[in-house]
Amino acid sequence: MIAQKATILCLYEILKKYTDENHILSAEKIREKLKIIYDVDMERRAIYRNIEALRSMGIEIEGYQDNREGYYLIDREFELSEIRLLCDAVAASDMIKEETGKVIIKKLIDTQSVFQGRMLQKTVFVKSEKKIISKHLFYNIDALNVAINQGCKVSVRLLEYGVDQKLVEIPQGNIVLSPYVTLWAEGNYYILAKRELSEQLEHFRIDHMKDIVILERGVDMIFGGLNPGQYAKQYIFQHGEIKEKYEIDCGFDLWQEIVEEFGNDAIISRKNDESMTVRISAIPSVMRGWTMAHINKCEVVGPKRFRDEIQMEIMEAYRKYCT
């Protein structure tokens, strides 16, 4: 038997699960559901009082005076579009196993009404199988965050992929790190840290670690501060390369591919009825790969070093073709 003081929570759950702007319940329908689901008898006047009590707590509930039909819950922790976005992100994450993802997605869907949940459940999520997940990943993240919050160094063993696609220890054994911040970039979790007796800031894949031990030794100081976003941009996204300026002369049929690859770093500087010139800001390795993939459709102008490298790649490709 549910205690009398708890029945207001039952009413709130009814509004949360069975109402939205397209599904409105009258006071009588609310009474019926309370009885069927929770075996709670609530008078109409008690329903009105409890709804007002919920409103006084800042919970938005539209009522009969607003729509001439009944009541529904307006205020939710997430909008339907936000839940869809979060479900997509969980399903697409290579770091979350399929069974774990299903549990998380169900929890997200349960924040909406059952009717909105049915709409979301009709979406098919296709899981990528390309990434090999380390079973120690989330334990590692927790251990490193504890060390960061306590300002302690850690001892770790680093891993790398063997030819059998399994992670194996790097022979150097344990290393001692001063951990500063964990971050997510390029589909992986990283820790920004310095090795003991080194002034060089480095990033390490957290799923490529094992045997993390928190030490009773304070981390080494960072002089000049730490900007994780700037570090990630330069050393993870750009692989330590510096962006350079290029120009692409091509037809309009390449514009969609250019925008997909370079985004806002691509600007049309000149165009006529048949062709255009696009100014690009990109790191050399990305620009080389794109140029080689479209070598017969455009002309790319860049630094002399870039032109020499492209010429060498063309000659190497021709040599392999001839042999």
The per-residue pLDDT for range 145-154, each reduced to its tens digit, is 999 999 999 9
- Do the Cβ atoms of 17 and 113 come closer than 8 Å? yes
C-alpha 184/C-alpha 204 separation (Å) is: 11
pLDDT of the residue at 119: 83
In a domain, 254, yes or no: yes
pLDDT of the residue at 1: 66
Averaged over 152-159, what is the pLDDT?
A: 95
In a domain, 12, yes or no: yes
pLDDT band per the 50, 70, 90 thresholds, residue 123: low
In a domain, 37, yes or no: yes
Check which CATH number belongs to the domain holding 30 and give it.
1.10.10.10
What would the two tokens of residue 259 be? 């925008």
* pTM for this prediction: 0.66
Instruction: Please give the mean pLDDT across all residues of the chain.
Output: 88
Percent of the chain with pLDDT over 70: 95
Q: Do 114 and 144 share a domain, yes or no?
A: no
What range does the domain containing 108 cover?
80-121
- Do the Cβ atoms of 131 and 188 come closer than 8 Å? no
Give yes or no for residue 297 having a pLDDT over 60. Answer: yes
pLDDT of the residue at 32: 95
